[in-house]
Amino acid sequence: MLLLLAKGELAGDAIELDVEDQHLRVRAGHSTLRFKGRWADISPAPLTDIPLDATDLHLLRMAAGQPAPYPPAATAVSGLDVEFAAAEQRFQQAVTRAHKSLKAYNIPRDTFEASIRALLLNRSKP
């Protein structure tokens, strides 16, 4: 069925999408495909208090859904996309500067960044 969809050979046949028992069902012609779904809660997030003086660490943690009052649904509707992106860019620049100073240790940049990010995000206090 996916090959037929890719080739565009289902002209005239309706493509039906349904959700049943946590599965997405796609029907076209005589074919049916079911995909197991992981459904995210997209209900409106409760209002969250965001500090006016939020630091890059606050923003990075919020964008990662931490701590608990900042689930992904809350940050998605927060309107802070520009601030999250700017904090991420400053983080990337800081990681690049720090990585350059440790070049003699031959640590891959992606490993270094992942380690620093894990340290920042796993702290109990911002």
Tell me how far apart the alpha carbons of residues 70 and 88 are, in angstroms, rounded to a whole number: 17
pLDDT on residue 126: 46
- Domain of residue 94, residue span: 56-121
Give alpha helix (H) positions in the chain. Answer: 2-7, 56-63, 72-76, 81-101, 109-121
pLDDT by residue (tens digit) across 65-119?
A: 776 566 666 667 777 888 888 999 999 999 999 999 998 999 999 999 999 999 9
Tell me how far apart the alpha carbons of residues 53 and 58 are, in angstroms, rounded to a whole number: 9
Evaluated on CA atoms 34, 72, 114, 123, the torsion sign reads: negative
Looking at the structure, do residues 73 and 115 belong to the same domain, yes or no?
Answer: yes
pLDDT on residue 2: 62
pLDDT by residue (tens digit) across 15-68?
A: 788 888 788 888 877 778 888 877 776 666 555 566 778 889 888 888 887 765
Looking at the structure, do residues 108 and 60 belong to the same domain, yes or no?
Answer: yes
Tell me how many domains the chain contains.
2
On whether residue 41 sits in a domain, the answer given is no
Record the pTM: 0.55
On whether residue 90 sits in a domain, the answer given is yes
